[in-house]
Structure 1
Amino acid sequence: MSEHARPGLTAAQMAEAVASVSTPDTVPSPFGDLHFFDGVPVPETVETAYNALDLIRAVDVFLNAVPGASLVAFRAGLRSAGVTSARQIGITEPRATSKALFLTPNTETTYGVTMLDLKAWGPTVIEAPPQSLCVVDDFWFRYVADMGIAGPDHGAGGKYLFLPPGYDGEVPDGYFVYRTPTYTNFVVLRALGGVPAMKQTRIYPLADAANPAENEFVTLSETPFNTVHANDYSFYEEVAELVQEEPADALDAERAGQLAAIGIVSGQPFAPDARLRAILELAAPIAAGLARTVSYAPRDPEAVLYGSWRNAFVGGDYEFLRDGARLLDARTQFHYLATVITPAMAHAQVGAGSAYAYTVHDSEGQLLDGARSYRLHVDANPPAKNFWAVDLYDTQTRSLLVIPSTPYPALASNDGKLQSNDDGSFDLYFGPTAPEGKESNWVETLPGKSWFPVLRVYGPLEPWFDQTWRLNEFEPIG
């Protein structure tokens, strides 16, 4: 049998292939030139390359760990306000104000918040009040359960049992049972019946079910406290605190690997040396700037509602998945601006739940400026089964805008004060001074400070979804 020579690359093609898999002796980079001897890094380049790699990892950690850092900061804020265990439930009675730093709360709802500690209490029971909208998220800010109207009790009220990681004990009957990957879990309570209904909530260890102690309800509305994660080096300390408390397998291997690359490892102290600390101090503000960019100027086409108005829940999935891929920017965008994650937010239904839109621009494409005055014309028949509202937020803190005139920087259709036009439309005003005779339709803004609005539609109707009714832009009037 004869042998035939197999065709191969020509000399020119082989030279091209070698060139394509090779590295030049000098590679320009934002971190400084990288120098190689025939593909091998020279000593000074090794240091430069690892400094660059650590900076990249640190930026990735910030962007991908925002959800966890957010809840560490929230717990710290609650503790400073007197909510130190799940026995205590903080309530924004009668409603949230601008006194606390709290990511984009609304001023129309009474919130109840606390943290479960399943390491201290073991299996824990929550008795959800009837006609409520309650959510439990784990300490990495991942969805665990809905309770109430969106949960398995469908608004009738029910007993929910939360089991800690690795629990293999007896599970009694009579509960809606959830297993959570973290010991600490975030509880958010809302009740349509307001504060009296909220105070029907009960949280206690399963071991005390026969005779549970009363819960204490701590009023938060007038208390200044901070629940917002850091934008500096201490961000990494917040994340390290979480990692040390929770099981090593509570986080996916990919993000755990990013954390480990900068020295945040379960069971090991977080003690960066001077070199790494300097890199982390450099990385945090860079990463925070990137987080602000994907939040205020998202580039995913699905983030655009229309005009300048943006959608904060890109992809329509509470896990930020689209076609099997994690939408990393969308996850950062949402958690940098907002608190609480649940499928009910990702899939608003006609006449139920709420829909959201926000913007940072006016009709001319300019950033909203507290020194200027604006008019927002709201067309007649806003598509809200219940009501609609516009709340204003500080672009730095993403918390309610602090203004001298009121702790409630918002306008809502259900407060009985808004003046409508003859055709049923509304003109809303925003600026340093109120237009004469329009004080009830005005929210103060501050010269030298930007701001951004979030419009909420409670019980959105079909014209919201098919966009036969649309928001207008903020029109500069001064």
Structure 2
Amino acid sequence: MSATKAKTSDETIMVKPPGYNTEIPVSILTPPRVETSIGTLEFFDGFPTEETARKVFDFLDMSRGVKVFLDGIPAASLEAIRIGMEDIGVTQCNHVGIAEKLLDSNSLLLTGNTDTVYASAFLDLKRDGPTVIEIPPNCGPSTINDAWFRFVVDMGIPGLDAGHGGKYLILPPDYPGDYPEGRFLVEDGYFVAKSRTYVNWVILRGFLVNGSPDAATDLFKTGLKIYPQSLADKPPAMKFVNFTNKIFNTIHSNDFSFYDELARVIEKEPLEMIDLELRGLIASIGIQKDKTFAPDPRMRGILTDAVAVGNATARALVFQTRESEAYLYPGTGSEWKTGFLGGSFEWLKDDGLGGRYLDARTLFFYQATVNTPAMVVEMIGKGSQYAYINKDSGGNFLDGANVYRLRIPRDVPAKDFWSVVVYDPQTRSELQTSQLFPSKNSQRSELAKNTDGSVDLYFGPMQPPESHPNNWIQTIAGKGWFGMLRLYGPLAPWFDKTWRPGEIELIPAVSPGATGL
């Protein structure tokens, strides 16, 4: 294309190509050959060649597959939990899985804790209609999330009953009447909340008493009741399934079967579960309600590549995050990070001015579960707060072959207790070692203290040293790990950052039985 170029006063380059009567902005033209990251793209006077069209369509389908993976993690994750619970016998709303002796490393659950008694149940509002949950008094932080892992309502200490117990009525999305999203009503003795989906996860936590889970287990077994409201006059008997020391999986796939998990959710739930834009994105790769998800060999190959890229992206967001606000103590070199960027359980950026904080949502749901304001907002003495870490003070990934020390300063700002749990970066579940519970808890661990009241925790692949037998968490040579600090009933010094944990420091290799750490 030969043409005379000229610049207007606003620096726009104008050209007069052959066949044109007037000059036009060069910015609106497509040259015959363009070099891009997906290869050379060729055109005949703006018409893309067949080869160019093939390249861009492959890229379009692949990029959409990646986006569906990242946006669909919450739904696939909750579906995987539902299937995992079903596998151990939790199949009806009155069936409740309980970690009677706490959650141990045999179970695969995203960053589950070893410090509270979990009670887990699933509602199917399409099958059962409005469903009642009777919460006993003194229930710990508990919540209900919908099939897209969105907050429905809190229960227990941070909930509407404020720890006094009460009846919650969960309405299905197609229930008639004015029950606007996010508004909770009290009707006929019920705390009423309407879900946007049929499937809902009920996850309750009970606190230890004198370091023992027995009281919380008894609390759930004697006081928790879940039943369809239609059977309120004669509720079905509760069935409790102990999943301590059970081997089962609740983690979504990171291969092509991820899309099968998502397709099940789309098929079961109402169209209105997600907006038109997201529904269209998911449909663009072949997942649509009332249609079989059956990609042809070309699309299957593209999606297999897309999920691999999506998985790598999610892992980069969690473990190599570029989000500066993920770091709790910026400018100090600290590696401690928060899983709730932006301080919003709805994943809003700058109070919504920046729209949905997409990377923040992925960062959280790829490594964790349960979405509630009680884990985000400042609730002095209530709820819980979290910080995770996957690098040492030198900025290196935590390696199970090394020995490390973490100092927890005195006066930890936790009204109830604090804990540190170690996780496997592959499964994002508790690290499996000879320690059934890879954690330390201020309530049930007899931790040796320093003279100033601080506590030093040690991590390494060998047996506990004689000097600190209760302060040792075992790791595995040849395997990475990451840790999470939890504060239950967090106090003001955590929020104003006048108290902060130490960094994880690499120390020289220590032989079994060594002293003087």
Is the aligned partner of 1:236 residue 2:263? no
Distance of 2:86 and 2:335 partners within structure 1:
38
**2:50 alignment counterpart:** 43
1:165: how far off? 1.8
Deviations 1:346-380 (A, max 9, x none): 11322222211111100111100000000112222
Distance of 1:423 and 1:140 partners within structure 2:
46
TM-score (norm: length of structure 2): 0.88
Is the aligned partner of 1:209 residue 2:224? no
Distance of 1:361 and 1:105 partners within structure 2:
20
Select 1:467's aligned residue among 483, 497, 509. 497
TM-score (norm: length of structure 1): 0.95
Change (3 A) 1:23 1:460: same
1:208: how far off? 0.5
Asked if the contact 1:137–1:143 (Cα under 8 Å) also holds between the matched residues in 2, the reply is: yes
Distance of 2:421 and 2:11 partners within structure 1:
68
**2:450 alignment counterpart:** 421
Unaligned runs of 5+ in 1: 1-7
**SS, match of residue 246 in structure 2:** coil
1:190: how far off? 1.6
Change (3 A) 1:10 1:409: closer
Matches within 5 A, 1:17-56: 18-56=25-63
**1:275 alignment counterpart:** 298
Change (3 A) 1:39 1:376: same
Change (3 A) 1:206 1:48: same
**1:87 alignment counterpart:** 94
**2:318 alignment counterpart:** 295
Select 1:370's aligned residue among 395, 400, 408. 400
Distance of 1:335 and 1:314 partners within structure 2:
12
Distance of 2:342 and 2:74 partners within structure 1:
17
1:413: how far off? 1.3
Amino acid at match of 1:148: G
Amino acid at match of 1:162: I
**SS, match of residue 28 in structure 1:** strand
Is the aligned partner of 1:162 residue 2:170? yes
Distance of 1:11 and 1:59 partners within structure 2:
38
Change (3 A) 1:104 1:416: closer
**2:191 alignment counterpart:** 176
**1:312 alignment counterpart:** 339
Moved more, 164-173 or 121-130: 164-173
Change (3 A) 1:260 1:418: same
Asked if the contact 1:348–1:354 (Cα under 8 Å) also holds between the matched residues in 2, the reply is: no
**SS, match of residue 226 in structure 2:** strand
Distance of 1:26 and 1:145 partners within structure 2:
56
Asked if the contact 1:360–1:453 (Cα under 8 Å) also holds between the matched residues in 2, the reply is: yes
Asked if the contact 2:376–2:385 (Cα under 8 Å) also holds between the matched residues in 1, the reply is: no
Moved more, 416-425 or 189-198: 189-198
RMSD: 1.8
Deviations 1:11-67 (A, max 9, x none): 984329622122222222332222111222111111111110000000000011100
Moved more, 327-336 or 13-22: 13-22
**1:4 alignment counterpart:** none
1:191: how far off? 3.0
**SS, match of residue 25 in structure 2:** helix
Change (3 A) 1:39 1:418: same
Change (3 A) 1:372 1:170: closer
Asked if the contact 2:445–2:470 (Cα under 8 Å) also holds between the matched residues in 1, the reply is: no
Is the aligned partner of 1:408 residue 2:437? yes
**SS, match of residue 285 in structure 1:** helix
Distance of 1:355 and 1:462 partners within structure 2:
12
Count how many residue pairs are aligned between Structure 1 and Structure 2. Answer: 470
Moved more, 348-357 or 103-112: 348-357
Asked if the contact 1:128–1:134 (Cα under 8 Å) also holds between the matched residues in 2, the reply is: no
**1:196 alignment counterpart:** 218
Matches within 5 A, 1:42-191: 42-132=49-139, 133-168=141-176, 173-191=188-206
Distance of 2:245 and 2:359 partners within structure 1:
34
Asked if the contact 1:385–1:460 (Cα under 8 Å) also holds between the matched residues in 2, the reply is: yes
1:299: how far off? 1.9
Distance of 1:168 and 1:105 partners within structure 2:
37
**SS, match of residue 309 in structure 1:** coil
**SS, match of residue 190 in structure 1:** strand
**SS, match of residue 235 in structure 1:** helix
Select 1:262's aligned residue among 279, 285, 288. 285
Amino acid at match of 1:74: I
Amino acid at match of 1:377: R
Asked if the contact 2:13–2:27 (Cα under 8 Å) also holds between the matched residues in 1, the reply is: no
**SS, match of residue 310 in structure 1:** coil
Amino acid at match of 1:437: S
**1:14 alignment counterpart:** 14
Amino acid at match of 1:227: T
Change (3 A) 1:213 1:54: same
1:169: how far off? 7.7
Select 1:457's aligned residue among 480, 483, 487. 487
Asked if the contact 1:302–1:314 (Cα under 8 Å) also holds between the matched residues in 2, the reply is: yes
Amino acid at match of 1:288: N
Distance of 2:297 and 2:269 partners within structure 1:
27
Select 1:445's aligned residue among 463, 475, 497. 475
**SS, match of residue 70 in structure 1:** helix
Asked if the contact 1:97–1:221 (Cα under 8 Å) also holds between the matched residues in 2, the reply is: yes
Select 1:248's aligned residue among 256, 271, 285. 271
1:151: how far off? 1.9
Change (3 A) 1:173 1:367: same
Moved more, 36-45 or 359-368: 36-45
Distance of 2:142 and 2:12 partners within structure 1:
67
Deviations 1:125-146 (A, max 9, x none): 1111112222111101111111
Asked if the contact 1:130–1:191 (Cα under 8 Å) also holds between the matched residues in 2, the reply is: no
Select 1:341's aligned residue among 365, 371, 388. 371
1:9: how far off? 7.3
1:315: how far off? 0.7
Amino acid at match of 2:449: S
Moved more, 25-34 or 305-314: 25-34
